[in-house]
Amino acid sequence: FAPGQYVTLRAHREGTEIRRAYSLCSTPRQLDADGTLRIGVRTVDGGRLSPYLARELAPGDTLDVLAPQGHFTTPLDPGHHRRHYAALAAGSGITPVLSLAATALATEPTSTFTVVYANRSAASAMFTEELADLKDRYGRRLHLLRLFSRETHHIGLPHQRLDAPTLRTLLAGPLPAAVVDTWFLCGPQAMVGGARDVLAEQGVAAATIHAELFHTQPDTPPAPAEGTRAPHPGAELTLRHGGHTSTVPVQPGQTLLDAGLAHRPELPFSCLNGVCATCRARVVGGRAEMASNWTLTEEEIADNYILTCQASPLTPTVDLDYDVV
């Protein structure tokens, strides 16, 4: 897998299949060295899977783990000279950043990594020891800035949330945008969206920014795409996945994922909310439209990628290819 990617876990609880995406916090090197694959789980009150994982899952139990996925990563190469990576992470958003920082620092001996990590308090922060270990190992090559919204002020920032004013202060001080080659933004939608806006206002190229959302705010869904049209009734979906092609009907009210799953239950999905991109596929024939998209970039959309869990057909036939990367 690539650092920054996630796996989807599949479990059956009380007769229902549950899938959730969890970022990998371990590194590809650890997997090669001792077969370790680690995820970070923060217990969500009322959650359907995380309380089980945190409190009940025991050695000997079995979970299905789907193949690693995700584009929250960047090519790393020992030949890269003095690259500077910067990550802005809030809460459990540190999980993939831990893997990215550890891998980048180990792979590229002259590169540096800045991690800005925001939490309510030190007690609520994840991976404190792992970050301290990385700092011990890499010294000045890892710059760690920690922000706490409910604790004492730090490094003179106006306040400690990782919001637009704080980011502007960081960019004017310890983290000038001009010295950063690649950005990673990971956390709630408000933080990631706000950071994108501030970086854009500082002239940071969108192509250098990688973003991953950890959860969305259901009360502020993204606006439907301009010119949203009614789904085509009685459409036919042809999908290619795992080298096999199937043609299936799309019933009224079904998403393309719903229609596909009725005949191909192995199709990938996780959040069903337009957040994780596990269900991503490419439209190679016909047209479809998403009700919601929190994760695909403008480039991916221009390239005809779509979140099938959010997609409805606009034409009598739609062809999807899941096998393209």
Angstrom CA distances, 212 to 7, 17, 173, 191, 230, stand at 14, 25, 25, 11, 30
Closest CB to ligand FES among residues 194, 268: 268
Closest CB to ligand FES among residues 157, 309: 309
Scanning residues 272 to 301, which ones bind ligand FES (CB under 6 A)? 272-279
Scanning residues 256 to 275, which ones bind ligand FES (CB under 6 A)? 269-275
Closest CB to ligand FES among residues 183, 269: 269
28 vs 68: CA distance, rounded Å: 11
**9 binds ligand FES per the rule CB under 6 A:** no
Nearest distance in Å: CB 296, ligand FES: 9
Using CB under 6 A as the binding criterion, the count of chain residues that bind ligand FES stands at 13
- Name which of 36, 4, 50, 17 is nearest 267 in CA terms: 17
DSSP 8-class letter at 24: B
Closest CB to ligand FES among residues 162, 275: 275
Closest CB to ligand FES among residues 80, 240: 240
95 vs 214: CA distance, rounded Å: 10
Nearest distance in Å: CB 181, ligand FES: 28
Scanning residues 162 to 181, which ones bind ligand FES (CB under 6 A)? none
Closest CB to ligand FES among residues 151, 322: 322
Scanning residues 177 to 236, which ones bind ligand FES (CB under 6 A)? none
What order do you get walking across the sheet with 305-307 strand by strand?
244-249, 236-241, 317-321, 280-285, 305-307
Torsion on CA atoms 41, 46, 49, 54, rounded to nearest 10: 50
Nearest distance in Å: CB 265, ligand FES: 14
Nearest distance in Å: CB 278, ligand FES: 5
Which residue type sits at 304?
N
Nearest distance in Å: CB 272, ligand FES: 5
Q: Let me know: does 99 contact 2? Beta carbons within 8 Å.
A: no
Q: Alpha helix locations (H) across 202-297?
A: 256-261
φ, ψ of residue 16 to 5 degrees: the values are: -120, 140
88 vs 201: CA distance, rounded Å: 17
**309 binds ligand FES per the rule CB under 6 A:** yes
Nearest distance in Å: CB 20, ligand FES: 10
CB closest to ligand FES, residue no:
309
DSSP 8-class letter at 55: I
Nearest distance in Å: CB 91, ligand FES: 19
Interacting residue ranges for ligand FES, rule: CB under 6 A? 269-279, 307, 309
